[in-house]
Amino acid sequence: MTTDELQTLIEDATADYACGDGDAALEKLSRATTAAPDSFEAWHALAEVNFSMRQLDAALAAGERAHALRPQDLFINTTLSRIWMERGDKPKAEHFGAQAKIGSWREQLQNPAGGNGAN
């Protein structure tokens, strides 16, 4: 599967979910993660769709795969925080929430507002 085909499959799955067809979205994201097991975007989308469908075990498994690929990504840390909170594990939720906050600060330090010289 090419990078463009993978991106199209992820986008199609996202559209399916947005239109209310969660099962079609999950099927497409399953194909995407099988074809490209190193695709952060596919795993993160799979985590989000499963979470939204209240399939917390599947959401956590997909979220952990995405996190293994990009552990400092603030979005996956936020996703994992939400999943752990729903599962009732506040300490783990707070851990991933803190990691997301650190990631946000890191991004702000690397790309400060007003970096274009206009103040």
**Which pLDDT does position 109 carry in this prediction?**
80
The residue among 109 and 9 whose pLDDT is bigger is 9
**Which pLDDT does position 9 carry in this prediction?**
97
63-114: pLDDT as tens digits: 999 999 999 898 999 999 999 999 998 999 998 998 888 878 877 788 876 5
Domains, the chain, with CATH or none: 3-110 (1.25.40.10)
37-49: pLDDT as tens digits: 999 999 999 999 9
Helices (H), the chain: 3-18, 22-35, 40-52, 56-69, 74-86, 90-110
